[in-house]
Structure 1
Amino acid sequence: MKLTNSIILSFLVVIIFISCTSNSAQVIIVEPKAADTVIRKIKDTISITAVGDIMLGSAFPSTANLPPDDAINSFQAVDSLLKGDIVFGNLEGCFLNSGNSTKCNGINPNNCYAFRMPERYAGIYKKAGFNVLSIANNHVGDFDSKGRKNTARILDSLKIHYAGQVNKPYEIFERDSIRYAFCAFAPNENTVSINKIDSAKALVARLKKQVDIVIVSFHGGGEGARFEHVTRKNELFYNENRGNVYAFAHAVIDAGADAVLGHGPHVSRAVEVYKNKFIAYSMGNFCTYGMFSLKGNNGFAPLIQLKINGKGDFLYADVVSVKQDKISRLTIDKNGTAFKRIKDLTDEDFKGHKLLFENNRISVVKE
């Protein structure tokens, strides 16, 4: 029996054309829609700008922990760099104007790491250009459900995409005709667990069937200068299992993830390209005011400008090194310290990696 053209089109899902004029894949997706055919063209290059931890100042236990400019100039040094199809960061705290933290019960509040940014600070993230934020970490829940719910409400009102709590494990959205899924994982209470790798794989695989590009974020690994290396083991920190970030990253890529963006250790870690997909194992402290330690390598971080093609494959990544101190706050590091440290750590942790680190750019060595 011969099939008519309309029946053939109803079963046709994806046709991919490779453009010989570009070093990336040009993807044209043909989708059935009733009797008509809808054609979506995915551009050759997708830009993802990614940074690590961000906490602009906490009004707890007092407003003395807020910056003198009320955080308005927090991103001034990098304002022109926070551009792209996706601009991502880890929201290390909640948006809440008042309240005490139960995690500080019996502890001197001045020695308790509980962060609540004034609600007005959310607009500073939006104005800076952030459009995707992880809320899977150990500080978004510092003020319990009140802080989590209020943060979600504010991010929704600003149309900033977010995910990572058990009641919001992922978000699907569209930008410039490209369908994205974003999901985030952590080892902390009320977050989607980084330690349940099979569940993470199942979620990513399900999302990949619905979208063009899947971006995965994780908050994992020990904290501080002693935890710069990717160990390939479960990392314990204060008796908490912070996950095997190597196994997790590889597993979600096996399941369909196109980019994996890590944070949590407060220092930079190595990067990897696995099955043509980019992994940043930790992007350090990007913009963190107040009680965060900025000593040594804790004070340096990358701003990663990642380029992937329409199939999600790695093209290259430019790294802008930034630094922080208690006086100057966030500034560009002309010495490129974060880039150099990432190169050294990648050389040590992923011997034979076939990546080229040159002129603040990470690319694949051409064979």
Structure 2
Amino acid sequence: MAWPSAFSVALRRWFPLSFLITLTSLGIFGFRHYHVRQRAASPSPLVAISDNTSLDLTLDAAQLAPEPQTKTTVITIKAVGDMAPGTRYSKTPQIDKKMQMFAGVEGQLKWSDLLIGNLETTLTNYPHPAKDISRPNVFAFRTAPSYTNLLRDAGFQILSIANNHTFDYGQQGFQDTKTNLEAAGIAPIGIKNQIHYHQHKDLTIALIGFSTYDYHNNINNLEAAVTLVKQANEQADITIISVHAGAEGTGANRVRPGTEWFFRENRGDLHKFSRAVIDAGADLILGHGPHVLRAVELYQGRLIAYSLANFVADGALSVAGTLSESVILEATLSSEGAFLQGRLHPVRINYQGFPFYDASGTAIQRLRSLTQQNFPDTPLTIQEDGQMFPKILSGGN
């Protein structure tokens, strides 16, 4: 006799058919579910049928448990460097051509979850500069508040106001800048001791702005910086640092350990700061201030961009030579902040001080060369087309 037939005969001998029907009608699956939930208290997975026969009525717990709630797997961030839109030093800003400002990079600024920049000016009508602009190399930057909507329409969601020009018109100018940005739906970062939290789907992103001045979060106070980053890291999935530091000009494109100086001013040790805050929990460092491109580095799986250079000069910032080379940095991070992949979108600043996409890719080649010189062993691949990968993902080539 075949095995199934023998088994059915045995069952009929041990249990009447009516009993089996009744057991089925009571719900074997409900019975199974009960035993899965009680597994910790009653470890035996079997239900006795007779002295010498048993049926396994349990289901694997994974089959019955609800789907685990997982975080959004990735977030894509785009970032640019120094922007001084609508500035003509201390003169009243001219706004007749402002709508052309981002036209040359409109396509490259799109398609990200978060767009970040550094606003190196004030958005105020307050007329009295806080600096003596009669002195050589002293400038006070002021932009008409109407430009705030232009920045918003370009896609910027976060702008750092921690730099050496955000107090050009004193406390009033700084407060006006903050107020005007918030009114347009743009979050300002860099207010001393403040962390901005941005929600992207189910990810919480912490953003902190730093400079080399005590009226912002100062990178020279490394202990306070680390404490602030640790606080952010406790509340957020990803922590992003925007930092304005380093010497300026065409000769300032190298990253060297140690304090940098510019016009006898301490501009911080950006190398030491970046590594310290990553060790404290930061996930992405966006540097600006030198006005030229600097190398990128992958440290502890986290990306450091030491300087993203100029992005909007508009008469305030020089665009001579390499000062006109820039990038839009694109970085895709995991839900834990690890760098997964990225791209450098090459940009050149034209004679008006406006950015436009540079198909020649000069900025990519510049950045590749600087990275090779400064960090030859960093585990990061930068391809000729600007794509970036951790070397572990690209086979180390």
Q: Structure 1-normalised TM-score?
A: 0.85
Structure whose alpha-carbon radius of gyration is higher: 2
* Inter-partner Cα distance in structure 2 for 1:106 and 1:353: 45
Q: Identify if the C-alpha distance between structure 1 residues 113 and 189 changes in structure 2 by more than 3 Å, giving closer, same or farther.
A: farther
* Inter-partner Cα distance in structure 2 for 1:243 and 1:216: 15
Q: Identify if the C-alpha distance between structure 1 residues 258 and 40 changes in structure 2 by more than 3 Å, giving closer, same or farther.
A: farther
User: What are structure 1's unaligned runs of at least 5 residues?
Assistant: 6-36
- 1:74, CA displacement in angstroms? 0.8
1:127 to 144, 148, 153: 153
The residue correspondences of 1:224-239 to structure 2 (distance < 5 A) are 224-239=249-264
Q: Identify if the C-alpha distance between structure 1 residues 105 and 62 changes in structure 2 by more than 3 Å, giving closer, same or farther.
A: closer
Native 8 Å contact 1:48 1:307 kept in 2? yes
User: What are structure 2's unaligned runs of at least 5 residues?
Assistant: 1-36, 38-65
The residue correspondences of 1:197-276 to structure 2 (distance < 5 A) are 197-276=222-301
Q: Do structure 1's residue 335 and structure 2's residue 360 form an aligned pair?
A: yes
Native 8 Å contact 1:265 1:282 kept in 2? yes
Q: Which residue number corresponds to residue 45 of structure 1? A: 74
- 1:328, CA displacement in angstroms? 7.5
* Inter-partner Cα distance in structure 1 for 2:186 and 2:354: 25
Residues 121-154 of structure 1, C-alpha deviations (whole Å, 9 max, x = no match): 0011111100011111001110010111111111
Deviates more, 1:185-194 or 1:307-316: 185-194
Runs of 4+ in 1 over 3 A off after TM superposition: 105-108
Report the number of matched residues. Answer: 327
Q: Structure 2-normalised TM-score?
A: 0.78
Q: Which structure shows the bigger proportion of residues in strand conformation? A: 1
- 1:297, CA displacement in angstroms? 0.8
Native 8 Å contact 1:40 1:177 kept in 2? no
Q: Which residue number corresponds to residue 146 of structure 1? A: 172
Residues 224-250 of structure 1, C-alpha deviations (whole Å, 9 max, x = no match): 111100011100111111010010000
Kindly report the root-mean-square deviation, in angstroms, between the aligned alpha carbons of the 2 structures.
Answer: 2.0
- 1:173, CA displacement in angstroms? 2.5
Q: Identify if the C-alpha distance between structure 1 residues 276 and 155 changes in structure 2 by more than 3 Å, giving closer, same or farther.
A: same
Deviates more, 1:51-60 or 1:323-332: 323-332
Residues 192-233 of structure 1, C-alpha deviations (whole Å, 9 max, x = no match): 101111111111111111111110111010001111000111
Native 8 Å contact 1:224 1:267 kept in 2? yes
Deviates more, 1:184-193 or 1:341-350: 184-193
Native 8 Å contact 1:173 1:179 kept in 2? yes
* Inter-partner Cα distance in structure 2 for 1:246 and 1:236: 14
* Inter-partner Cα distance in structure 1 for 2:135 and 2:95: 24
Residues 285-333 of structure 1, C-alpha deviations (whole Å, 9 max, x = no match): 0112113110111001010111111111011111111111224732111
* Inter-partner Cα distance in structure 2 for 1:193 and 1:228: 22
2:117 to 74, 77, 89: 89
Residues 82-131 of structure 1, C-alpha deviations (whole Å, 9 max, x = no match): 231110000101101241212125448xx642111100000111111000
